[in-house]
């Protein structure tokens, strides 16, 4: 029967109400309103919804997830209700889709077989971090066909049995910070074609798990720091052919034997810092022809043979700081790709002529806090790319006049904390690009005119805490870019006309804690950019007002 027109009009308000009620009850495709979800902060980003749930109960999680209909890009649950020790199949509501899930700081001890059944078709990244898991939850992980990353950091797992991850297609596995002592030969079976990154650091492994890893053809990154490993097994045929990054820092290595890394021929980055290494065989790294970075810092190495890195022509960074090395003759020569060299805090006695020969790409050398007394004047002759040289805290008395002649790109030079008593004109003749020069805490008694003349780009000059009694007139006239000069803590009694007049750049002058009794009337002439000047702790009895007439920007 056809209704009259006016009957249809009467029903329309009811229809609108029903439609509006239905829309209100349906899950949202964006973050729910704060009134509906006061517990879990929710964020709408271009790539999806991000949820963070601090201190929730199981019921809270379920209520929030039921309000969202679209896939959740990331769900982070931390400090889960401590009474929840089992993750059961009803934890996540039906039809929920989560791409990245992390549950941290929980009492979770068991993941039931169907724990992820409702989200298995969407879950790509899973983290159960800082929980109570004692075993790899093999059955719970079954069926997670799109899972690529698994993080089980800081649980209580003690071993990896065979087929722990079978059926999965993981590219990244993290089991850091557990109590791992054993790994089965077939622990990673099924991941041969996918796994690229593995983190087993901070466990209790006293062996390098070669048998478990040798079939992982695509493994590129392996982290084994903070274990109890003391050697790498070599049975003659097992290799990690694709491995490029290996972290073995904080283990129990004492000796690096000949060709110790033969099973790892593709390594580019090797970290061995914080071991107890005392001896390195001269052919220890002979198979690592692709090596680009090696960190051997914080060990007990005393002797380094001149041919130790002879086969490693691609090395870009070498860190041997915090060891007990005495001599470096020939140790770093003929390394055409070497850029950074860290040798601070050793017992190096001298820098010989052949230390860096033909390593022309070296840009930074750290040699501070050694026992260096002598530097050969040709030690840096081939270092045409050197930009930073650190020689602080040594026992250098004489700085060779020609030492820097080949280092025309030098930007920063630190010679502070030595026994240098004088600088010769010509010392800085070729380093016109130098911007920072640190000469404080030496025994320099005078600054002759011409010493700093070749440094038009110098920004900072540190000469404090020396024994300066005289600075020649015009000593700093050529420093047209100088911004900061520190002369405090010397023995100056007078300051003449030493600074560049009409300097456009000089901002601060430190002259405190000397024995100044007078300042030349032209000492500060034209210093219109100076903002801060220290004159305290001197013996100035009277200052002419005209002395400060050009200090237009002085603040204190």
Surface-to-core class of residue 483, CB atoms within 10 Å of its CB (0-12 exposed, 13-18 middle, 19+ buried): middle
| pLDDT for the residue numbered 112 | 96
The CATH number covering residue 70 comes to 3.80.10.10
Domain hosting residue 81, numbered range: 31-156
pLDDT tens-digit readout, 466-496? 999 999 999 999 999 999 999 999 999 999 8
Long-range interactions of 177-180: CB distance < 8 A, separation 24+: 177/153, 177/201, 177/202, 177/203, 178/152, 178/153, 178/154, 178/202, 178/203, 179/203, 179/204, 180/204, 180/205
Contact present, 86 and 112 (Cβ < 8 Å): yes
Q: How far apart are CA 464 and CA 440, in angstroms?
A: 5
- Is residue 161, in this structure, part of any structural domain at all? no
- Is residue 314, in this structure, part of any structural domain at all? no
Span 224-234, average pLDDT: 97
| pLDDT for the residue numbered 127 | 98
Does the pLDDT value for residue 531 go beyond 60? yes
Does the pLDDT value for residue 288 go beyond 70? yes
- Is residue 38, in this structure, part of any structural domain at all? yes
pLDDT tens-digit readout, 395-416? 999 999 999 999 999 999 999 9
- Is residue 175, in this structure, part of any structural domain at all? no
Span 432-449, average pLDDT: 97
Span 17-37, average pLDDT: 57
**Structural domain ending residue among the three candidates 103, 138, 156:** 156
| pLDDT for the residue numbered 401 | 95
Which residues, in sequence order, are CB contacts of 178 under 8 Å at separation 6+? 152, 153, 154, 155, 156, 157, 158, 202, 203
- Is residue 139, in this structure, part of any structural domain at all? yes
Span 355-374, average pLDDT: 98
DSSP 140: H
pLDDT > 90 in the chain, percent: 83
Confidence of residue 521 (pLDDT cuts 50, 70, 90): confident
- Between 15 and 439, the more confident residue is 439
Which residues, in sequence order, are CB contacts of 3 under 8 Å at separation 6+? none
**Structural domain ending residue among the three candidates 156, 187, 221:** 156
Does the pLDDT value for residue 10 go beyond 50? no
Query: SS in 3 state form for 272-337?
Result: CCCCCCCEECCCCCCCCCCCCEEECCCCCCCCCCCCCCCCCCCCCEEECCCCCCCCCCCCCCCCCC
Q: How many domains are contained in the chain?
A: 2
User: What would you report as the CA-atom Rg of the chain, rounded to the nearest whole angstrom?
Assistant: 34
Confidence of residue 556 (pLDDT cuts 50, 70, 90): low
Span 445-473, average pLDDT: 96
| Letter string b/e over residues 176-199, b meaning 16 or more CB atoms within 10 A of that residue's CB | bbbebbebbebbbbbbeebbbbbb
- Is residue 203, in this structure, part of any structural domain at all? no
- Is residue 525, in this structure, part of any structural domain at all? yes
Span 170-182, average pLDDT: 98
pLDDT tens-digit readout, 106-144? 999 999 999 999 999 999 999 999 999 999 999 999 999
Let me know how long the chain is: 556
- Is residue 389, in this structure, part of any structural domain at all? no
| pLDDT for the residue numbered 5 | 42
Q: How far apart are CA 524 and CA 452, in angstroms?
A: 19
Query: What is the model's pTM?
Result: 0.90
**Structural domain ending residue among the three candidates 140, 156, 172:** 156
Contact present, 207 and 233 (Cβ < 8 Å): yes
């Amino acid at each position: 029967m056809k209704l009259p027109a006016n009957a249809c009009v009467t029903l329309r308000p009811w229809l609108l109400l029903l439609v509006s009620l239905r829309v209100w009850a349906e899950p949202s495709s964006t973050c729910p309103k704060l009134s509906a979800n006061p517990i879990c902060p929710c964020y709408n980003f271009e790539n999806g919804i991000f949820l963070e749930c601090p201190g929730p109960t199981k019921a809270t999680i379920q209520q929030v997830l039921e309000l969202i209909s679209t896939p959740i890009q990331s769900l982070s649950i931390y400090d889960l209700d401590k009474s929840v020790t089992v993750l059961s199949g009803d934890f996540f509501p039906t039809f929920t889709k989560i791409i990245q899930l992390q549950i941290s700081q929980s009492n979770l001890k068991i993941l039931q077989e169907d724990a992820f059944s409702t989200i298995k078709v969407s879950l790509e990244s899973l983290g159960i971090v800082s929980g109570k898991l004692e075993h790899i939850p093999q059955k719970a992980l079954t069926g997670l066909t799109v899972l690529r990353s698994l993080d089980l950091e800081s649980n209580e797992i003690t071993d990896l049995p065979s087929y722990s991850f079978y059926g999965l297609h993981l590219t990244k596995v993290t089991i850091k910070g557990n109590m791992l002592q054993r790994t089965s030969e077939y622990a990673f079976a099924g991941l041969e074609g996918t796994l690229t990154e593995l983190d087993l650091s901070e466990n209790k492994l006293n062996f390098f798990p070669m048998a478990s890893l040798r079939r992982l053809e695509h493994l590129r990154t392996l982290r084994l720091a903070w274990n109890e490993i003391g050697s790498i097994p070599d049975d003659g045929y097992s290799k990690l052919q694709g491995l490029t990054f290996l972290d073995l820092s904080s283990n129990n290595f004492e000796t690096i034997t000949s060709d110790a890394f033969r099973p790892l021929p593709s390594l580019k980055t090797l970290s061995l810092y914080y071991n107890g290494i005392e001896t390195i065989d001269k052919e220890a790294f002979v198979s690592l022809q692709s090596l680009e970075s090696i960190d051997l810092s914080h060990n007990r190495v005393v002797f380094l043979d001149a041919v130790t890195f002879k086969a490693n022509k691609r090395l870009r960074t070498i860190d041997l700081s915090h060891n007990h090395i005495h001599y470096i003759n020939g140790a770093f020569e003929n390394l055409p790709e070497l850029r950074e060299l860290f040798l601070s805090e050793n017992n190096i006695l001298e820098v010989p002529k052949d230390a860096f020969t033909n390593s022309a790409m070296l840009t930074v050398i750290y040699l501070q806090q050694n026992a260096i007394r002598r530097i050969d004047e040709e030690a840096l002759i081939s270092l045409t790319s050197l930009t930073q040289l650190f020689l602080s805290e040594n026992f250098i008395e004489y700085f060779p006049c020609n030492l820097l002649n080949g280092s025309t790109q030098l930007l920063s030079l630190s010679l502070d904390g030595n026994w240098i008593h004088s600088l010769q004109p010509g010392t800085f003749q070729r380093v016109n690009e130098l911007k920072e020069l640190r000469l404080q805490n030496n025994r320099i008694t005078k600054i002759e005119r011409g010493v700093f003349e070749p440094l038009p780009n110098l920004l900072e000059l540190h000469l404090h805490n020396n024994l300066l009694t005289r600075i020649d007139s015009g000593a700093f006239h050529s420093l047209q870019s100088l911004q900061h000069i520190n002369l405090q803590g010397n023995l100056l009694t007078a300051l003449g006309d030493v600074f560049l007049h009409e300097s456009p750049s000089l901002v601060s002058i430190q002259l405190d804690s000397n024995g100044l009794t007078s300042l030349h009337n032209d000492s500060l002439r034209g210093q219109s950019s100076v903002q801060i000047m220290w004159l305290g702790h001197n013996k100035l009895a009277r200052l002419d007002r005209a002395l400060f007439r050009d200090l237009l920007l002085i603040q204190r």
